[in-house]
Structure 1
Amino acid sequence: MQLELKKQKKKTALLQAAYELFLKKGVPLTSVGDITAKASVAKGTFYLYFRDKEDILGAVSAAVLRQILEEGYMKMGAGRTDSFTENLIRLADAALDYLQQNRGVLEILRRGGRMPKLSREDPLWRSLMRDLRQSEGQELAGKSEEEVFRILYCLLTMGGSVAAAAILRGEPEPIEKIKPALYGIIRAALAE
């Protein structure tokens, strides 16, 4: 038990160090040596948990995205409606607002390229599915959880790509002008 706790602390220290360095120095300028020095662990310890910098970048990216989604889901709670689609748009809006204010995090996500792993047992996934089942509308009626996951994954991936371009480079326009189109796409995808 003590050994497992010690291992978890080292892994957490590595993830936290990588996150802080990626924000401060940028991903390209951060080395494995920088990460291990900041985490106060030996370089060999890094390789017990991660294959290389890209591996820890993916893990940091997934953890950050998961946190953004969880926080957005909680913020959405106060304004929750009977419409799953509108609740999902509120979640997206909260996430986009966060990313606008934290562009460094968006750069980590863009470079990390990993989606959080959601399973049926995951609390976030269970909350989304509970909301869907409790929605009064007919959004995604008759679709299996696997189909719902695929649709939400596509929306998140495509929407995230468009949002990143709009937030980081103002392409094709600033995010405030893109949001209505993104939300229209979400509504259309969930109306089928």
Structure 2
Amino acid sequence: MIEKMNMSKVEQKKQLKEKRLLTAAFDLFSSKGVNDTSISDIVTHAGIAKGTFYLYFKDKYQLLDIIVQEKTDELLIDAMKSANEKQFENAIDQVVHMGDYIMDYLDQNKKMLKIIYKDLSWGVFSRTREYDDKNYDRLKPIQDKFIDNIVALGKKRDDAEKELYLILELIGGIMYNAIVHEKPYTLKEIRSSLIVMVRRMIKKIKTPT
């Protein structure tokens, strides 16, 4: 029993150090940029010895991948959950709500947008990293329900998944340029046109039998 308790404390300390490194990296990547942030900067900011870093991560780019995955997971979980919980006449309005939710969030969280850059679709379509995918277990059923509603419009499931991917890529890329650079258009200038594009992408078209 004592041995198990000691192992639990060791694991808790390990998770705490890992979280401190992730938090420090997020702060520095978003303020200084990835290229101008060194591993020494990260461990100093986290208050952890440099040698300890390599017990958890291979390099700063693995850290970046994990941060992007975690942040996009959480945002997509919240956006899709919000859209699934509301009542809409059709899946088109549901997807538009998801897009609005993401745009509003990123507009208020520019720090996060700088980190995830244009990789918004990672949370749904890229599961390549060797890391705890607990968020994916939460995201998958919400994602499936969301795609099911698009399929209900008469789409093939494969087409519905592709459309979701394209929409997330479209929103991610435009949001980054509009919010971070405000070029070639600001979010206020481009938002209504972006929503029109999303609606056109998922308009009701019967799939040929």
TM-score calculated relative to the size of structure 1:
0.80
Q: Deviation per CA, 1:157-179: give whole Å up to 9, x if none.
A: 23211221111222221112222
What is the deviation of 1:136?
8.8
Match of 1:87 among 91, 94, 107: 94
SS in 2 for 1:141: coil
Spell out, residue by residue over 1:5-36, the C-alpha distance to the aligned partner (whole angstroms, 9 max, x if none). 33322222211111122234443432211211
- For 1:122 and 1:81, locate their aligned partners in 2 and report how far apart those are by CA, in whole Å: 26
Map residues 135-174 of structure 1 onto 2, 5 A cutoff: 135=149, 138-139=152-153, 141-144=155-158, 147-174=159-186
- Return 51-60 or 78-87, whichever deviates more: 78-87
1: CA distance between counterparts of 2:116 and 2:161? 20
Shift of 1:96: 0.9
Q: 1:38 aligns with which of 36, 45, 51?
A: 45
Structure 1 residue aligned with 2:4: none
Pair 1:88–1:97, CA change in 2 (3 A): same
Q: TM-score, normalised by structure 2?
A: 0.74
User: Relative to structure 1, is the Cα distance of residues 155 and 168 closer, same or farther in structure 2, using a 3 angstrom cutoff?
Assistant: same
Where in structure 1 are there 5+ consecutive unaligned residues?
none
Name the CA shift for 1:29/1:182 in 2 (closer, same or farther; >3 Å).
Answer: same
Shift of 1:131: 3.7
Structure ID, larger Rg: 2
**Structure 1 residues 112, 85: CA separation in 2 closer, same or farther (over 3 Å shift)?**
closer
Number of aligned residues: 188
Gaps of 5+ in 2: 1-6, 128-135
Structure 1 partner of 2:14: 7
Whole-angstrom CA distance in 2 between matches of 1:154 and 1:174: 21
For residue 69 of structure 2, what is the amino acid of its counterpart?
A: A
